[in-house]
Structure 1
Amino acid sequence: MEEDRQPARRPGGRSARVRAAVHQAATDLVAERGYGNFTVGEVAARAGVADTSIYRRWGTLEALLVDVAITWLTTTSPIPDTGSLEEDLRTYAANVARDVTGPDGLAVLRLVIALSSAGEAGGRARDEFLAERGRQLQGMLDRARERGERPPGGMEILDHILAPMYIRVLFGLGPLTPGYVDSLVDHLLLSLARSTEPH
C-alpha cells in the first residue's frame, strides 16, 4: 500500500516535466528560427505534448514565451551572499557571464528583445524581465547597506556590468573572459568610490 501511495506524494511531477519540455522546445525554436517564426503546434510537436495542453496552460504563444524568459532569469545567475559587496558583485558578474553564454542564454536575450517590440504583451514581458532582475539585485544591495557598505544602485549595475555583457553576447563582440568580467566590476567600484569622495 505504501508504494501505491508514493506517486500521490509528488503532485505536479508530470506537470513540471511537461513545462520543462515545452520551455526547452520553445527556447530551441527561438534559437533556430527567431521570434515569430514558429507556432504553438511546432512547440507542442517538439515537446511531445498536445497543442491543446499549451493553450490550456498558457493561452497564447506570447504568454508561453514570457514564462520562458522569466523562468530562465529566476533560475539562473543566483545572487551571492559572500559577506562583501565587492565579492558579491564579482561572483554575480561571473554567474551572469556563465549563464548568458550558456546553451540558452543568447536565445533568451534575443527573445526578450523581440518581445519588447511586440506590442503591449511584449512590453509587459520586458518590464517583468527587468523587474525580476531588479528584485534579485536589490536583496544583494540591501545586505551590503545593512553591513554599512555603500552599494551602487540597480541601474548602475545594469549600466556597468549587465549591459556590456548583454551587448557583447547579442552582437558576438568577443568572449566574456574572466578578466573582462572582472574589469566591468572594477570600473563600477571605481565609479562608486569617486562618487563618495569628499569634494
Structure 2
Amino acid sequence: MESEKTRRPGGRSARVRTAVHQAVTELAAERGYGNFTVGEVAARAGVADTSIYRRWGTLEALSADAAIGWLTEHSPIPDTGSLTTDLRGFAAKVASDVSGPGGLGVLRLAMALTNAGETGQQARNQFLMARFEQLRTMVDRATARGERAPDPMDIVDHILAPIYVRTLFGMGPLDAGYTNGLADRLVDQSA
C-alpha cells in the first residue's frame, strides 16, 4: 500500500515560503524588479534555487505569489460594523503596510510584472484579483448591513491609488489625517 504524503501547516514548507517571499520583497525594494535573480533570492532565503524553480517555476510566478502572500498577510479587511470605520481602518493599514518593510518592494513588483510579458501580466492580474476580492468582501458586508457602498474600483481609485502613488514617489506623510480624509471623501461621494 502506498503511503500518502501529508503537509503540515507551519512546517518546513511554510518556513521556506515565508523566507523566499521576504527575500523577494527585500530585493525588489532594494534593487527593483528585474535586477535580481532566482539564485540571489535563494541565497538570501537560505534555500536551494532548485527548490524555488520546483515550487514556482519562474521569477514572475514567484513574484506574484510573494505579492499576493504579502497582501493577505499584511492587509486584512477590517470588519467593524460600519463602512466608514472599515474604510478608515483599511486605508490606515494599507498606508502603514506599504510604507513599512517590504511594502515598497511589493508595489514595485506589481508594477514591474505589467512589463514582464504574458507570464508577468498573468501574475500581476492574480495580484490585482486578490486585492479586488478583499475589497469586494468589504463592500458586500456593508451592503448586507444596509449601507450604501461604493464599487470596489472606487476604493482603488480613491484610497489605494493615492496611497500607492505617494509611496512610490516618496510623497508623505501617510498619517491618520490623510488616510481618514481619503475614506471620508469616498463615503461622502457614495452617499
Q: Which amino acid aligns with 2:142?
A: A
User: Does the aligned pair in 1 maintain the 2:84–2:184 contact within 8 Å?
Assistant: no
Q: Distance in 1 between matches of 2:92 and 2:75?
A: 8
TM-score normalised to the size of structure 1?
0.88
Consecutive unaligned residues in structure 1, runs of 5 or more:
1-7, 194-199
Tell me which moved more, 58-67 or 165-174. 58-67
- The residue that corresponds to 1:190 in the other structure is 188
Select the structure with the greater relative contact order (CA < 8 A; seq sep ≥ 6).
2
Change (3 A) 1:157 1:19: same
What's the Cα RMSD here?
Answer: 1.5
- The residue that corresponds to 1:171 in the other structure is 169
Q: Which amino acid aligns with 2:47?
A: V
Percent of aligned positions that are identical: 69
User: Does the aligned pair in 1 maintain the 2:159–2:182 contact within 8 Å?
Assistant: yes
Tell me which moved more, 155-164 or 120-129. 120-129
Structure 1 residue runs of 4 or more that deviate by more than 3 Å after TM superposition = 8-12
**Whose helix fraction is larger, Structure 1's or Structure 2's?**
1
Q: Distance in 1 between matches of 2:56 and 2:150?
A: 37
Q: Distance in 1 between matches of 2:92 and 2:58?
A: 35
Change (3 A) 1:187 1:9: closer
Consecutive unaligned residues in structure 2, runs of 5 or more:
1-5
- Would you say how many aligned residue pairs link Structure 1 and Structure 2? 186
Q: Which of residues 156, 159, 181 in structure 2 aligns to 1:158? A: 156
| SS of match in other structure, 1:81 | coil
Q: Distance in 2 between matches of 1:39 and 1:9?
A: 28
Q: Distance in 2 between matches of 1:9 and 1:110?
A: 32
